[in-house]
């Protein structure tokens, strides 16, 4: 099943330039994303995810992130999946992802580890995940 992307209540027809959307994971659970731009670059999809956890959830959140990163990096179609933490702000993280193509990214959204993280993360986050897809210029 391909993830469904929404602009308000209207379903988006593609992954291109969709802002202020809701990623619908099931009929009962929705994970709001502030910004989600997807742009294919030379068949690859490269994106940044910015995550900010509650100060009392740092250790738990970091453990969950590391599980997600390890499993995601092992996926077929994943070219790059790395986790970074802001140097002086322990609750702020960035994930840099690169996927072979949009189909690989869509498959990633259907994996057990991605769905598990999507169930755990909302209670640990201070705000919705912000995701930006990059377009290579040079």
Share of the chain above pLDDT 70, in %: 70
Compute the C-alpha angle 97/98/103, nearest 5°: 115
Non-local (6+) Cβ contacts of 17 within 8 A are: 37, 39
The answer to the question of residue 94 being in a domain is: yes
Residue 64 lies in a domain: yes
pTM of the model as a whole: 0.69
Q: Is residue 33 part of a domain?
A: no
Domain extent for 120? 40-134
Whether pLDDT at 30 is above 70: no
User: Structural domain tally of the chain?
Assistant: 1
Neighbour count for residue 52 (Cβ, 10 Å)? 17
Is the Cβ–Cβ distance between 81 and 73 less than 8 Å? yes
Task: Tell me if 121 is assigned to some domain.
Answer: yes
Q: Please check whether residue 5 lies inside any domain of the structure.
A: no
Query: Sorting pLDDT into bands at 50, 70 and 90, what band is 116?
Result: very high
CATH number of the domain residue 83 falls in: 3.30.70.100
Flag whether pLDDT at 41 surpasses 90. no
- pLDDT higher than 50, residue 5: no
* Within a domain: 83: yes
């Amino acid at each position: 099943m391909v993830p469904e992307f929404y602009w308000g209540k209207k379903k988006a027809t593609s992954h291109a330039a969709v802002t202020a959307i809701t990623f619908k994971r099931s009929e009962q659970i929705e994970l709001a994303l502030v910004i989600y731009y997807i742009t294919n670059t030379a068949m690859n999809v490269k994106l940044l995810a910015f995550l900010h956890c509650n100060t009392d959830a740092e250790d738990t959140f970091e453990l969950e992130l590391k599980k997600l990163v390890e499993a995601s990096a092992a996926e077929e179609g994943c070219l790059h999946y790395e986790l970074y933490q802001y140097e002086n702000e322990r609750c702020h993280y960035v994930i840099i992802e690169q996927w072979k193509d949009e189909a690989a990214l869509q498959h990633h959204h259907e994996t057990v580890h991605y769905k598990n993280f999507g169930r755990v993360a909302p209670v640990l986050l201070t705000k919705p995940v912000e995701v930006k897809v990059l377009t290579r210029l040079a």
